[in-house]
Amino acid sequence: MSKPDTLTLQIKTRPVTYGDGAKYHEWVILMLHRNKVVGAESGPRRATPDRASCTAAARSRIRELQKHRLYVIRITRDDMRHGKARSCETCPVAQALYRNQERMGLDKYDYDWWVETYRAYVHADGLVLNGPDGSLHIDSDDLPLIINKHNPGLSFFQKDLSEWTQDFDEWKDMVQMGVREWREERGYEDGERAYRPLPFSFVLDMDAMKPTEK
């Protein structure tokens, strides 16, 4: 497998007071490539009562991540232009993963990606890598956080792949159907349009992928 991307990992913490009055400190790890934030990971909620324990937990997580194979995945405007809505095999995320898989040491003919970040009423599969020896996946509950110019990694309220793909599917439906037909079918008022999502990046942790249960 080829050499993973070299990332700088930085810690950001903040105090949080929940509705029941409970107070905690929580962390986010920012992932930088060439001095630019390209990914992030947030820590568990209600886990550390003070800043010292919060920082210690984040540093422990960084030590783990530094041992992992981390790859920056960028979803471009071309991926969005050519990607298909509601397609687990040809959506923009699947196309970007396929484009990057050879530098991960994965043969382009022996492996393929299945991207199912959400599904109605049942649990989605998440990110699935299918290969000759079986499948690996990152569960849809553990999807990577995304980074773009409206979500630069500095906020604790970040979007993950699930939210982005839902926005993309709705926007692509509108483009393909036409705005008028889309409004009529969805029951929207005149003037309403689907939000057009932005290109983004995330960090794929290959060591977070687990064998898929059959």
Does position 214 have pLDDT exceeding 80, yes or no?
no
* 82 inside domain: no
Q: Considering the domain boundaries, does residue 24 fall inside one?
A: yes
Span 63-67, mean pLDDT? 97
User: Is 44 part of any domain?
Assistant: yes
From residue 185, alpha-carbon distances to 174, 176, 180 in Å are: 10, 13, 9
In a domain? residue 48: yes
Q: Which residue has the tokens 């932005």?
A: 198
> Which residue segment(s) compose the domain that 53 sits in?
8-69
Examine the pLDDT at 151 and tell me if it is beyond 90: no
Question: Has residue 86 been placed in a domain?
Answer: no
Domain for residue 194, yes or no? no
Residue 141 gets which letter from DSSP? G
pLDDT for the residue numbered 149: 76
Q: Is residue 14 part of a domain?
A: yes
Residue 150: pLDDT band with limits 50, 70, 90: low
Residue 160's pLDDT band, with cuts at 50, 70 and 90, is confident
Count the domains in the chain.
Answer: 1
Residue 30 within a domain: yes
